[in-house]
A and B are shown apart, each in its own frame.
Chain A
Amino acid sequence: MEQNIIELIISGFMNSLSPYHILLMVFGIAAGIVVGTLPGLTATMAVALLVPVTFVMEPASGLVMLGAVWCGAIYGGANAAILLNIPGTPSSIATTFDGYQMTKNGAADKALLASLISSVIGGIVGVVILLTLFAPLAQVSLKFGKPEYFWLCIFGLTTISAMSTGNVLKGLLGGLLGLLIGTIGLDPVAGIPRFTFGYRPLIQGIQLVPALIGFFAFSQMLTLMERNEKYIAKYKQTPNLFKSLVSEMLQKGRSIIIRSSILGAFIGMLPGAGGPVASLIAYNEAKRWDKNPEKYGKGALEGIMASESSNNAVIGGSLIPMMALGIPGCPAAAVVMGGLLAHGIIPGSKLLTQSGDVAYTFITSLIIANLIMLPVGYFMIKLVANILNVPLYFVAPIILVLSSIGAYALRNSMFDVFVMVIFGVIAYILSKVGIDPGPLALGLVLGPIAEDALGVSLVIAHAKGSILQIMFLRPVSFILIILSILSVFTPLILSHIKKNIGLEVKKNDSTVC
């Protein structure tokens, strides 16, 4: 059996290295990066758009292309996050925190390149974990029941306290607002509409992507327009950046990239959590373990490295339960699974015995695709960075139009465009009083997952007659509860200690997220 798997891996590499497949991957990655960069067009959508195209291809070739598009799109989200403060996909929310600050400091190309290198490393780590450990890890993912999801979300929400040092109250306010918005629509347990005020389109709830475009893109453009400057930020290309950056990253952030990638792969394998949760938690952990957490949010390279390596590692992670159990780990994985099924390949425990060759070609191709992403992405960075040389009065309207198209294209629905505009205006006003879109987005991402998990846990607890047993005393839940408590209080304790030894904690100005 062992021998067999090694043979499959080798033949997988051989297959994915054929010129035709390399060509497909280059195309897939370039297309993915473009879609990922555009606000509103998500990785899931990029993959979904290409699934019908793969119907006419050989199963392996189709999958190779889908995988490449997926990697490219998740990485591409960072471009817009860094240059415009707009997460191109929900997975790159955390990238905006430091990426945009670096752009403002004139280090845009450094940030872009760091996100590319981190994405490539994260992606490869994720796939290697998938390749080597997927059978045992899939069993681990099954141990995660609804109570554990609930506590994972609570742990994720504690990131707010880290995201808004010096301004915790406003951060919490934003987070609560996000949670509140997340409750609009169908009640996940009762299946009955609520908070819709009798307005029918609200039954489907506020969709994450249009709201995010509003929170970030629309409000950001309003902010830029009032700033009365000609360019978003000063930008000058730094020569010979690659070499110096690589050595800087190796020196500063080896452990950050590896830790964030492993976190990303782990959170990726939990169905329903996905890229946004992974990158936010990875960002929080990077900050927590750092000796100088104050630099985060002001243009720390480490913040970008954490966010981008973890969200690309999610790809490998989310394929773990899909390959082993037929349970996709995130929406994009679900679409890929649809593509597999259409070719008569059934993911799950029999995948390796029945279609091992195709499966391993797909998995190994992801490693190759990540390697190809380095030159393709490098070339595209040179192109996209030029947006900083375009005067603002061209950029702003174009971004607004692209955002509207993105919001519309999601479900061919004008309603989503209105959602974008309304939430954009709300976020703009909130930013005036010091409430940033970060916590708002976090509440909206995690709220619905947490609510569903809590509701289901309580149904089970009610049937079994013990809330204590189901909610608090399971080992994984217990660990997550401890971690959450630590996460909430570490910033407070740290600042207390610092005050005591006479160091004044500088209050961040409110624009820093």
Chain B
Amino acid sequence: MKLKNKSIVSVSLLLIALMILISGCGQSNTPTPEKKSEANYPDRPINMIVPYDPGGGSDMLTRMIDKHAKEQFGNNFTFVYKPGAGGAVGASDIAKSKNDGYTIGTVNIPNYLLQSISGSGDFNADSFDYICQTASDPQILITPQGSKYTTIEEFVQAAKDNPGKLTVGVPGALGDGHVATLMFMEKAGIEVSIVPLKGGSDLLGSILGKHIDAGMANIGVVISEKDNFNILGVTFDKEHPFVPGVPTFKEKGYDVQSFVGRIYVAPKGLAPEMLQKLETGFKNIWDNSEYQDSMRNAMFSTDWKTGNEVKEFVTKYHAEAKALIEKYNK
């Protein structure tokens, strides 16, 4: 009997060791890049790291691109899901991948930037080469039905009269809505209590249930219920097609520009020819009317930016957000 017991232990240890070995191999097995392969790049499937769960927004958006990837890149993408810590785990994986062009990924402006500021990400804006942005989702300031505040002016006045008394829900601590609210506070010279909730759905529920005075929500998450709350303003640079007639913060005198940008990135140091090929391929897919239709159906607002434009915005936003977080969170 003793012998049998020992053999159980050893068999299980062996199997576990084998598993660790196999999974370890999977990571180190990526072939070494060859210089001359740039001309016929890509000649095999490209790994696409999605730092969120399968079935989530980033996955859906990338799957829509993937539908047409074969025409542009010869193969479909190989999806690798690396969820965790609000995307920081996957973003870190992208940054640390081999820059041979066969591993790229999707991250969201500004989440990964804010993670690098708050200390939850071991990467920063310079850890990536930027391919493009395919879609964006700005924030809107909303108040519950029956609220006294239906315009930005009324809200600012109320916040000035009662500093710190108004509660503004945001979809997550140190996320995009949080920073947009800080920008608004800074530019309007007001003080509100920021309530960090657990994502857009939590925020929507808190507004519909009237648990908070206002919310800084991403359009995409709440737009289907837009008849059930007031929209005060949008953090876009122009009128947004999803909320026609809603004024921008900018035209009300507070230059708040903030949105979730769905961007595609590669680890830093990709050969320029490869980066160009990727950007062109993505642009061709983006221009496809079938792609545009599927995006519209799923309520995503397409918004193209080239790699360079993305980089420019990222640099500016990073500086502004960092200053604000250091000011208000200390």
Question: Could you list which residues of chain A lie within 8 angstroms of chain B, going by C-beta atoms?
Answer: 44, 47-49, 51-52, 55, 141-146, 185-193, 200-201, 203-205, 207, 221, 225-226, 228, 271-272, 321, 325-328, 334-335, 338-339, 341-344, 346-350, 392-393, 396-397, 400-401, 404-405, 408, 411-414, 417, 452, 455-456, 459-460, 462-465
Interface members, chain B 206-236 (any A CB < 8 Å)? 206, 208-209, 211-212, 222, 224-225, 227-228
CA distance A271 to B198 in the complex (A): 10
B208 touches A142 (CB 8 A): yes
Contacting residue for A463 out of B57, B60, B164, B204, CB 8 A: B164
In contact, B225 and A348 (Cβ under 8 angstroms): yes
Q: Is the CB of A413 within 8 A of B201?
A: no
Residues on B with C-beta less than 8 A from A271 are 201-202, 205
The residue on A at minimum CB distance from B49 is A412
Chain A residues lying within 8 Å of B197, measured Cβ to Cβ, are 456
How many A-B residue pairs have C-beta atoms within 8 angstroms? Tell me.
Answer: 187
- Is B12 within 8 A of A397, CB to CB? yes
The residues in B between 90 and 125 inclusive whose CB is less than 8 angstroms from any CB of A are 92, 118-120, 122
Please state if B15 and A397 are interface contacts (CB–CB under 8 Å). yes
CB-based contact A325/B193 at 8 Å: no
The reply to whether the CB of B152 lies closer than 8 angstroms to some CB of chain A is: no
**Contact yes or no, B173 A189, CB < 8 A:** yes
A191 to B85, CA, bound (A): 10
* Smallest CB separation, A44 vs chain B (Å): 8
- A204 touching B88, Cβ below 8 Å: yes
Q: Is the CB of B12 within 8 A of A193?
A: no
Partner of A188, one of B12, B178, B196: B196
Contact A400:B15 (CB < 8 A) given known A338-B60, A342-B60: yes
Q: How far is the CB of B279 from chain A (nearest CB, A)?
A: 25
Cβ distance B227 to chain A, nearest Cβ, rounded Å = 7
Q: Which chain A residues border B164 with CB–CB below 8 Å?
A: 463
Complex CA–CA separation, A187 to B118 (angstroms)? 11
Query: Given A339-B55, A452-B198, are A400 and B12 neighbors across the interface (CB < 8 Å)?
Result: yes
Known: A204-B85, A335-B53. A393 touches B297 (CB 8 A): no
| B183 within 8 A of partner (CB) | no
- Residues in B with CB closer than 8 Å to A145 are 206, 209, 211
Residues of A within 8 Å of B195, CB to CB, are 456, 459-460, 463
Determine if B80 is an interface residue (Cβ-Cβ < 8 Å): yes
- 13 A–B pairs (Cβ distance < 8 Å), ordered by A: A146-B211, A186-B120, A188-B198, A191-B178, A193-B119, A200-B92, A341-B299, A342-B63, A347-B224, A393-B7, A397-B8, A400-B12, A460-B167
Q: B residues bordering A, Cβ < 8 Å?
A: 1, 4-5, 7-9, 11-12, 15-16, 19-20, 23-24, 53-57, 59-60, 63, 80-86, 88-89, 92, 118-120, 122, 164-167, 172-175, 178, 193-198, 201-202, 204-206, 208-209, 211-212, 222, 224-225, 227-228, 297-299, 329
Chain A residues whose CB sits within 8 angstroms of the CB of B329 once the complex forms: 190
- In the complex, what residues of A have CB within 8 A of residue B172's CB? 191
Given known A144-B209, A463-B193, contact A346–B15 (CB-CB < 8 A): no
A408: which of B4, B23, B194 is its contact (CB, 8 Å)? B23
- Residue among A225, A412, A414, A459 facing the most chain B CB atoms (10 A cut-off): A412
- CB-contact partner of B209 in A143, A188, A343, under 8 A: A143
- Quick one: given A397-B15, A411-B89, A459-B167, are A204 and B84 in contact (CB under 8 Å)? yes
Given A327-B205, A341-B60, A462-B193, A186 and B53 contact (CB-CB distance below 8 Å): no
> Do B19 and A404 have beta carbons less than 8 Å apart?
yes
Q: How far is the CB of B232 from chain A (nearest CB, A)?
A: 19
Task: Determine whether the beta carbon of A203 is less than 8 Å from that of B88.
Answer: yes
CB distance from B15 to the nearest CB of A (A): 5
B196: nearest residue on chain A (CB-CB)?
A189
Interface centre among A145, A187, A350, A397 (most CB of B within 10 A): A397
Tell me the bound Cα distance from A85 to B269 in angstroms: 50
Which chain B residue has the least Cβ–Cβ distance from A395? Answer: B8
Q: A204-B84, A321-B205 known; A413 and B89 CB under 8 Å?
A: yes
Residue of B nearest to A410 (CB): B83
Chain A residues with CB under 8 A of B24? 414
Which residue of chain A is the closest to B92 with respect to CB atoms? A200
Please name all residues of chain A whose beta carbon is closer than 8 Å to the beta carbon of B83 when the two chains form the complex.
411
In contact, B82 and A413 (Cβ under 8 angstroms): yes
Q: Assuming the A-B contacts A145-B206, A460-B212, are A52 and B165 also in contact, with contact meaning beta carbons closer than 8 angstroms in the complex?
A: no
> When the two chains form their complex, are residues B85 and A186 in contact, meaning their CB atoms are under 8 A apart?
yes
A191-B174, A401-B19 given; 13 more Cβ-contact pairs under 8 Å: A44-B53, A186-B85, A188-B198, A189-B196, A225-B12, A347-B224, A350-B224, A393-B4, A393-B8, A412-B80, A412-B82, A460-B211, A463-B164
Q: How far is the CB of A357 from the nearest CB of chain B, in Å? A: 17
Task: Give the residues in chain A near B84, CB-CB below 8 Å.
Answer: 204, 207, 411, 413
Q: Which of A52, A201, A341, A401 contacts B16 (CB 8 A)?
A: A401
Shortest Cβ distance from residue B280 to the other chain A in the assembled complex, whole angstroms? 26
Complex Cα distance, B167 from A463, in Å, reads 7
